[in-house]
Structure formats: structure tokens, C-alpha cells
Chain A
Amino acid sequence: MSTLDCAQAIICAVQLSRSFKKIAALREIDLYIQRGEIFGLVGPDGAGKTTMLRLLAAVMTPTSGRVTVAGHDTVKDAEEIRAHVGYMPQKFSLYGDLSVRENLEFYADIFGMRGTERERRFEQVLSFAHMSHITERRAKQLSGGMQKKLGLACTLIHRPDVLLLDEPTTGVDPVSRREFWDLLTELLMQGTTIVVSTPYMDEAERCNRIGLLFQGQLIHCSTPREIKAMVKGQVVEFHPDQLEAARALLATQLGVLEVQVYGTLLHVFVEDANQVWPRLHAALNVAGIRIDGVRLIHPRMEEAFISLIRRMQEAGSKTQEATGPIRAE
């Protein structure tokens, strides 16, 4: 990573590492994010997503390496960082007994906002979050999705130009999730930079770049399109009359990279479908397995992610990791 990149980036991490006792939670991360990007952090549980966001928010110090946000070093200028950054942790603290407005007032106090500026900002964030009509409602009476929106409103109170969101929509229903992302789109159009971690691959697909964390390392960092293109070969989808038998048979065939069960369907990853598929079809026929609905599909983010992680796990130690694949017998 050259210093030139760092000068242009709003977030710039160089060899960033963090350990907890002997466990390396993050290892030598080089990452730069440009102003106005929406950057998605994805990875299995325990891969280091939350640690990464905490380091960027300057609420945790790195063990080694460094990171600058909006030109400020997170260790030396932690106070400056807080003025630029809005950080929404996974369990954002709202006061359940306080009203929507009182929660906002609390956060405005923390950031030392006063006078007419403060009042104007309340109106702005309330109308932005579509909550102007329920300012007196207690936070605990809000639905899960509304609580997330209030959390976002509180996070925005001091006009941060960088937003760090840790799984902001986990456990929220699809309608509220879409509404939350519509808000993020608004912010993006206003020029805010957003870093968001998510377990939802359809959300990851809405980011302009994605960083894939695995065991504390940033193993890929590119656009959703590029990540999907990394999945080698093509995917043949079909519906077999004997799912498990078909899966077991294909897993042992030459030219098959991977077999994923998808509902009553199988997704078979092959190097070159034109070349390999006739042979696989014949093998299924011989085994008395009937199939229909054969089509070639594009791998989605979901398939790409699972495929990349499983290959990492297989390439790693043979001892199964917590998220290792299950082979049903």
C-alpha cells in the first residue's frame, strides 16, 4: 500500500492487527476505502468483522499497524475521529424508557450540540428516519426495525461523514430491511462513506465493494461482480428425483468442483458445462436417477461466498472448523 493511496482514501489501514491474549483477531489488514463508497464487510462468525469496525471507530486500539480515518490517526487523534465517525454497534444502546426525542437529546448532549443547530438537526434526522410523528413514543415500544432506524438517527446526530454499521439489520424483517437500506442509499447520495458488516448476502450485493474476512485475514476485496466471477466454472441447476443419491454420486465425478444442495435442487459447479455435463447426465441415468429442469445459472453472492469459504476451510487444516460442512450420510 503506497502512501499515495492513503492520501486519497477516507479510511486507510496499513498492516492493521489486533490480538486478544494469544488469539489473533485481525492479521495485517491493508485496506483503503474512498470517500462516498459503501463498503461491505462479510465473513463467518468470529472472522473479525466487529473487531475491524471497533478499530475504525477508534473505540479499540490496534496491537500493531495503523489506521487513519478522514486523515486522523485512530490512536493519536481518537477524539477527532469521533467527530467524523458515526458508529452503530450491533447492540446499539437505546434507552427503552426514554422517548424517541429523549434518546436523540441524549446523543446530542454527548456530542455537545447546542442551540438552534441542535433543534434543526433533530428535525432533520427525525424526518430522514420517518419518525417525526412518533417523537414521544418510548423506544421500547418501537418495533425492531424502528429501533434500528432510531439507532441510525442517533448515530447521525453529529453529521458524521463516515458511518460504521455493525450488522445493522440482523433479525429485522425484509420490509424494514429494505427501508433501512433506502435510508443508507439517501446518505450515500449525500456523499457519506459507509462501512457495513452483514450476514445477508443480498445486502452485501448492494455494496460497491466487499471485503471478505476469514480467520482474521482480508482474503478478498473487490466488487460483488468480481467476487462472483471468482467462483470457478459454471453452475448447472437441476431437480433430481433422488436428491441425496444424486449429490453423493456427483461429488465423486471427475470435473465436478463442488455440489451444493439448494431446496429440492442441486447446484453442480463444473469447469466447463458443455464438456462435462453430458458425462454427468449419463452417470445419473445409469444410476437410475431421473432429473428435470436442467439449466445453467449464474452463481449469486450466496453461492460465491459459501464456495470461497469452504475451499479456504478445505485448504486449511483438516481438523474441522466450527463452520465446517456437514456431510449427511
Chain B
Amino acid sequence: MTDKVSFAIETENLSKRFGHFIAVNSVTFNVRRGTIFGFLGPNGAGKTTTMRMLLGLLKPSGGHAGILGYDVAHQPRAVKQRIGYMSQRFSLYDDLTVEENLRFFGRTYGLRGDRLRERIQYALKMADLIGREKAPGRELAGGFRQRMALGAAILHDPELIFLDEPTAGVDPVSRRSFWELLYHLVNDEGVTIFVTTHYMDEAEQCQELAFIHGGQIVAQGSPAELKATLMQGTVIELTPDDPANAMRLLKQAKATGSLMADDMALYGAQIHIVTQDATQAQREIVELLNAGGVKFDLPEVIQPSLEDVFLSAIR
């Protein structure tokens, strides 16, 4: 890989408006080469619009996006040859076999002859589809379809891959296998990956994350940095013997102002309470539950999950 630039993606004040609606509002971020970059945000936050601009499918209303050193608005063709894209609803031909599907996608990228055969073999091996070359697309289980779509997206040996919610609705075991494949591409092939996901455990596996909300980047950093800097308040975990009853008492207390808490959620046998003052909240909780006759283990401060951090950043 000719590595003249250290960033695979560079954006500066990238914006997109549709009429009066500002979908993406002056977004600036960089993605280092050879890393997995996670792009997170609620639906309608501007994720897909940003990605479409980076792919060269949509013209920015303002700002600039550089992909692998090229200006995507002015050199879209140079960019397209060097990137791969796996869309949320990737198309796979049900009637065609795995191998025929890959051949079809390879040809659309302009691959021919030995090169095409060699890349198909590579994709089959990478996606663990050896032995299933002749299976029709419709017979592939969820995890295999996902991996075959990834195989199709890397046939032309791209330096940068965009994945739009690649694992939506896929079970945890298949998701983990898929992510092991992504690490393989990043660590052993030096590929850069830009991925959107709604799974916070996947987000936690990215080297760098950006949260987009209302068209703006509200936070950026490694998962550890975000946890350390972004979380507003502390998470307290409480284990009562009757969680539903305890939850009711806590909610009433929050409503009447006798418990200072930003948020509370039931986690099975535990209750997680987000608060600005852990010491005071712990005291209030103990008094409250004692008065209500609910037995409990002493509430303790725990590490926030990335989901806690995410919700705290955008609420």
C-alpha cells in the first residue's frame, strides 16, 4: 500500500442540507489508516447521509471530504476503485450460487481472468465458505450471508471498507465471528474499516468512535477515553430482593425529589441508577429502601457501560 497519507478519511466542516433541513452540520473528523472506526448515533442523526457523502454518492452542501488522499467530490472515480461498501440491505442473488454471486460482483469491479479467479478464492477462504461454493444464495444462514457480502465487498482489494450496520439482527456468535474477520482484515491486510452499528458491545471493539446526534459530532475518542471523559455522573448498582418493588419506590422518590437521580433502569435482579452525587444518592437509597421494607445488598459504584455513556451524551 502506498502510504502517503496517514489518514484514510479526513473531513472538514462536511455539511449536507436538504431544503431547510440540515442533515449533517459541519462535521469534522479523521480516521487513521489500519484502524476500525465506529460511527454511532440514533436513527435520523445523519449517519447514512455522512456515509453517502464519503462514498461519493451524495454531493456535500459545504465542507470537504478526503478519502485516501483524494477529494471525493472531485475525484470520485479514483475513490471508488479503492473503497469497498457493504450496505445495510446488501443484495445477494438467491438463485445464484456463492461462487456465481462472487463472480458477478467481481466482474462489476472490472476483474477478469486469473485475477478474478484468484480474488474469488481469497474471498471464499476469508469468509470460510470453502465447501459451500455451489450452495445457492437462498440456502445460506444469516452469518454466512453476512460473510459472503463482506467477501463481495473486498474482491477488488480495497484499502478502505464502509460497513453500514453489517450485523443487524445477527446472533452474538455469528457477530463475534464476523468481527474476528474484520480484525483479520485490519491487522493482517492493513485495511481501514468505517462501520456503523447499534450494538454497543461492537462499538466497544472499535479503536476510535464518533457519536453523531442531530447532524453534529457530539463526542469522539477511543471507547476508554469516552467512558472516562463523557459520562455525566456515576452509575450505582443496587441488588434488592424485590427489584420491581424497589424500582417503584425509587421512581416515586425521584418524582417527588427525595432522590437525586438522572436516570434509573432495571437490569434483571439489579437496578442501575445514574447520579451526579454518588455519596448522597447512596444514602438516600438506603434510607428509602429501609423505610419501604425492601431488603438489599449495599449499593455500589460500577463502571458505566458504553450504552450508559452514549445515552448520557445525547440525552
List A residues at the B interface (Cβ < 8 Å).
36, 38, 42-47, 143-145, 167, 170-178, 181-182, 185, 188-189, 199-202, 205-208, 223-225, 243-244, 260-264, 300, 302, 305-306, 309-310, 320, 322-326, 328
Kindly report which residue of chain B lies nearest to residue A40, judged by CB atoms: B268
A306 touches B176 (CB 8 A): yes
Q: Among residues 166 to 184 in chain B, which have CB atoms less than 8 Å away from a CB atom of chain A? A: 168-177, 179-181, 183-184
Q: Given A171-B168, A263-B204, are A322 and B141 also a contact pair (CB < 8 Å)?
A: yes
Q: Among residues 153 to 198 in chain B, which have CB atoms less than 8 Å away from a CB atom of chain A? A: 165, 168-177, 179-181, 183-184, 187-188, 198
Kindly report which residue of chain A lies nearest to residue B204, judged by CB atoms: A263
24 contacts between A and B (CB under 8 A): A38-B268, A44-B171, A45-B170, A170-B168, A174-B307, A175-B42, A175-B310, A185-B265, A188-B244, A199-B170, A200-B199, A202-B305, A202-B307, A224-B269, A243-B187, A262-B204, A263-B205, A305-B172, A322-B143, A323-B143, A323-B174, A323-B177, A326-B177, A326-B181
Selected from A45, A143, A244, A325, the residue in CB contact (under 8 A) with B171 is: A45
Q: 13 additional contacts, CB 8 Å, given A171-B165, A175-B311?
A: A44-B171, A45-B141, A45-B171, A143-B44, A174-B42, A174-B200, A185-B266, A188-B244, A201-B172, A206-B266, A225-B268, A310-B173, A325-B180
Indicate with 1 or 0, residue by residue over B37-51, a CB within 8 angstroms of chain A CB atoms: 000111110000000
Residues of B within 8 A of A47 (CB): 171
Is B292's beta carbon under 8 Å from chain A?
no
Residues of A within 8 A of B199 (CB): 200
A309 touches B173 (CB 8 A): yes
Selected from A188, A199, A320, the residue in CB contact (under 8 A) with B266 is: A188
A167 touches B169 (CB 8 A): yes
Q: Given A205-B268, A261-B183, A263-B206, are A173 and B41 also a contact pair (CB < 8 Å)?
A: yes
A92 to B265, CA, bound (A): 26
Residues of B within 8 A of A309 (CB): 172-173
Q: Given A167-B169, A189-B247, are A174 and B310 also a contact pair (CB < 8 Å)?
A: yes
A174 touches B268 (CB 8 A): no
A171 touches B198 (CB 8 A): yes
B173 touches A182 (CB 8 A): no
Residues of B within 8 A of A176 (CB): 42-43
Is B142's beta carbon under 8 Å from chain A?
yes
Is B29's beta carbon under 8 Å from chain A?
no
A224 to B247, CA, bound (A): 19
Kindly report which residue of chain B lies nearest to residue A172, judged by CB atoms: B198
B184 touches A174 (CB 8 A): no
Residues of A within 8 A of B277 (CB): none
Q: Given A170-B168, A199-B169, A322-B141, are A262 and B205 also a contact pair (CB < 8 Å)?
A: yes
**5 smallest beta-carbon distances between A and B, as pairs:** A322-B141, A263-B205, A328-B184, A173-B42, A44-B171
Residues of B within 8 A of A173 (CB): 41-43, 198
Residues of B within 8 A of A178 (CB): 265, 307, 311
Smallest Cβ distance from B242 to chain A, in angstroms? 10
Residue of B168, B169, B173 most packed against chain A (CB within 10 A): B173
Kindly report which residue of chain A lies nearest to residue B42, judged by CB atoms: A173
A176 to B248, CA, bound (A): 22
Interface residues on B, range: 35 or more
A263 to B141, CA, bound (A): 25
Kindly report which residue of chain B lies nearest to residue A225, judged by CB atoms: B269
Residues of A within 8 A of B95 (CB): none
Kindly report which residue of chain B lies nearest to residue A204, judged by CB atoms: B268
A225 to B239, CA, bound (A): 11
Smallest Cβ distance from B266 to chain A, in angstroms? 5
Residue of A43, A177, A323 most packed against chain B (CB within 10 A): A323
A45 touches B174 (CB 8 A): yes
A243 touches B183 (CB 8 A): yes
Smallest Cβ distance from A196 to chain B, in angstroms? 12
Is B128's beta carbon under 8 Å from chain A?
yes
Kindly report which residue of chain A lies nearest to residue B41, judged by CB atoms: A173
Smallest Cβ distance from B232 to chain A, in angstroms? 15
Residues of B within 8 A of A324 (CB): 128, 177
Q: Given A174-B311, A189-B244, A322-B144, are A202 and B169 also a contact pair (CB < 8 Å)?
A: no
Selected from A170, A206, A262, A328, the residue in CB contact (under 8 A) with B265 is: A206
Residues of B within 8 A of A143 (CB): 43-44
A323 touches B141 (CB 8 A): yes
Residues of A within 8 A of B141 (CB): 45-46, 322-323
B266 touches A328 (CB 8 A): no
Is B201's beta carbon under 8 Å from chain A?
yes
B205 touches A326 (CB 8 A): no
A144 to B165, CA, bound (A): 15
Indicate with 1 or 0, residue by residue over B109-142, a CB within 8 angstroms of chain A CB atoms: 0000000000000000000100000000000011
Smallest Cβ distance from A14 to chain B, in angstroms? 26
Smallest Cβ distance from B192 to chain A, in angstroms? 14
Residues of A within 8 A of B177 (CB): 323-326
Residues of B within 8 A of A305 (CB): 172-173
Kindly report which residue of chain B lies nearest to residue A49, judged by CB atoms: B171
B248 touches A189 (CB 8 A): yes
Smallest Cβ distance from B4 to chain A, in angstroms? 25
Selected from B173, B180, B181, the residue in CB contact (under 8 A) with A323 is: B173
A167 to B181, CA, bound (A): 26
Is B104's beta carbon under 8 Å from chain A?
no
Smallest Cβ distance from A183 to chain B, in angstroms? 12
Kindly report which residue of chain B lies nearest to residue A167, judged by CB atoms: B169
Is B207's beta carbon under 8 Å from chain A?
yes
Residues of A within 8 A of B93 (CB): none
Kindly report which residue of chain A lies nearest to residue B140, judged by CB atoms: A322
Q: Among residues 285 to 311 in chain B, which have CB atoms less than 8 Å away from a CB atom of chain A? A: 305, 307, 310-311
Is B314's beta carbon under 8 Å from chain A?
yes
Smallest Cβ distance from A136 to chain B, in angstroms? 20
